[in-house]
Protein backbone atom coordinates (compact mmCIF):
# COMPACT_ATOMS: atom_id res chain seq x y z
CA UNK A 1 0.00 0.00 0.00
CA UNK A 2 1.35 3.42 -0.97
CA UNK A 3 1.82 6.10 1.60
CA UNK A 4 -0.42 9.15 1.42
CA UNK A 5 1.69 12.27 0.83
CA UNK A 6 5.07 10.70 1.68
CA UNK A 7 7.84 13.01 2.83
CA UNK A 8 10.67 13.89 0.48
CA UNK A 9 13.70 11.72 1.31
CA UNK A 10 15.63 14.90 2.08
CA UNK A 11 13.31 15.49 5.04
CA UNK A 12 14.06 12.01 6.35
CA UNK A 13 17.78 12.53 5.82
CA UNK A 14 17.75 15.80 7.75
CA UNK A 15 15.48 14.65 10.59
CA UNK A 16 16.83 11.16 11.23
CA UNK A 17 20.46 11.30 10.10
CA UNK A 18 21.96 14.77 10.01
CA UNK A 19 20.25 16.59 12.90
CA UNK A 20 20.63 13.78 15.49
CA UNK A 21 24.38 13.76 14.84
CA UNK A 22 24.57 17.55 15.11
CA UNK A 23 26.05 17.80 11.62
CA UNK A 24 26.07 20.97 9.58
CA UNK A 25 25.18 20.71 5.91
CA UNK A 26 28.79 21.56 5.09
CA UNK A 27 30.20 18.79 7.31
CA UNK A 28 27.69 16.21 6.07
CA UNK A 29 28.45 17.12 2.45
CA UNK A 30 32.18 16.73 3.09
CA UNK A 31 31.64 13.32 4.67
CA UNK A 32 29.46 12.22 1.74
CA UNK A 33 31.95 13.49 -0.83
CA UNK A 34 29.47 15.85 -2.48
CA UNK A 35 29.15 19.61 -2.69
CA UNK A 36 27.22 21.56 -0.11
CA UNK A 37 24.97 22.77 -2.93
CA UNK A 38 24.13 19.18 -3.92
CA UNK A 39 23.26 18.12 -0.39
CA UNK A 40 21.32 21.31 0.28
CA UNK A 41 19.19 20.71 -2.82
CA UNK A 42 18.28 17.23 -1.54
CA UNK A 43 17.58 18.41 1.99
CA UNK A 44 15.31 21.17 0.68
CA UNK A 45 13.40 18.89 -1.71
CA UNK A 46 14.78 20.47 -4.88
CA UNK A 47 16.67 17.33 -5.93
CA UNK A 48 16.10 13.63 -5.49
CA UNK A 49 18.19 10.74 -4.28
CA UNK A 50 20.14 9.21 -7.16
CA UNK A 51 21.45 5.63 -7.04
CA UNK A 52 24.97 6.98 -6.39
CA UNK A 53 23.74 9.21 -3.57
CA UNK A 54 21.82 6.27 -2.12
CA UNK A 55 25.08 4.33 -1.94
CA UNK A 56 26.86 7.28 -0.34
CA UNK A 57 24.09 7.60 2.27
CA UNK A 58 24.09 3.88 2.98
CA UNK A 59 27.84 3.90 3.59
CA UNK A 60 27.78 7.04 5.72
CA UNK A 61 24.78 6.23 7.90
CA UNK A 62 24.72 2.43 7.94
CA UNK A 63 21.47 2.18 6.03
CA UNK A 64 20.61 0.39 2.81
CA UNK A 65 20.82 2.06 -0.57
CA UNK A 66 17.53 0.37 -1.44
CA UNK A 67 15.71 2.10 1.40
CA UNK A 68 16.78 5.53 0.11
CA UNK A 69 15.78 4.69 -3.45
CA UNK A 70 12.45 3.24 -2.31
CA UNK A 71 11.68 6.46 -0.45
CA UNK A 72 12.49 8.46 -3.58
CA UNK A 73 10.32 6.25 -5.79
CA UNK A 74 7.39 6.47 -3.37
CA UNK A 75 7.69 10.26 -3.29
CA UNK A 76 8.02 10.58 -7.08
CA UNK A 77 5.11 8.23 -7.73
CA UNK A 78 2.88 10.10 -5.28
CA UNK A 79 3.71 13.38 -7.05
CA UNK A 80 2.98 11.85 -10.46
CA UNK A 81 -0.34 10.48 -9.24
CA UNK A 82 -1.36 13.97 -8.12
CA UNK A 83 -1.14 15.01 -11.78
CA UNK A 84 -2.42 11.77 -13.32
CA UNK A 85 -5.64 13.41 -14.53
CA UNK A 86 -3.45 15.45 -16.90
CA UNK A 87 -1.88 12.31 -18.39
CA UNK A 88 -3.75 11.42 -21.58
CA UNK A 89 -3.08 7.92 -22.90
CA UNK A 90 -4.86 5.41 -25.09
CA UNK A 91 -5.69 2.20 -23.27
CA UNK A 92 -4.28 -0.82 -25.09
CA UNK A 93 -5.29 -4.43 -24.77
CA UNK A 94 -4.49 -7.72 -26.44
CA UNK A 95 -6.95 -8.71 -29.14
**Domains (range + CATH), the chain:** 9-78 (1.10.260.40)
67-84 mean pLDDT: 95
Burial of 70 from C-beta contacts in 10 A (0-12 / 13-18 / 19+): middle
Residue 93 has pLDDT above 90, yes or no: yes
95 — pLDDT class (breaks 50, 70, 90): confident
What's the pLDDT at 1? Answer: 54
Q: How far apart are CA 64 and CA 57, in angstroms?
A: 8
Is residue 9's pLDDT more than 70? yes
pTM value is: 0.89
Q: What is the pLDDT of residues 18-62, one digit of tens each?
A: 999 999 999 999 999 999 999 999 999 999 999 999 999 999 999
Percent residues over pLDDT 70 in the chain? 97
Structure confidence at residue 50 (pLDDT): 98
> Around 43, how many Cα atoms within 13 Å sit in the side-chain half-sphere?
21
Cα distance between residue 10 and residue 54, in whole Å: 11
Amino acid sequence: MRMHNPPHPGEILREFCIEPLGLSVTRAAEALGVSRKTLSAILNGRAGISPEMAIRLSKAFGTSAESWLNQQVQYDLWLAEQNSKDIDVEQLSAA
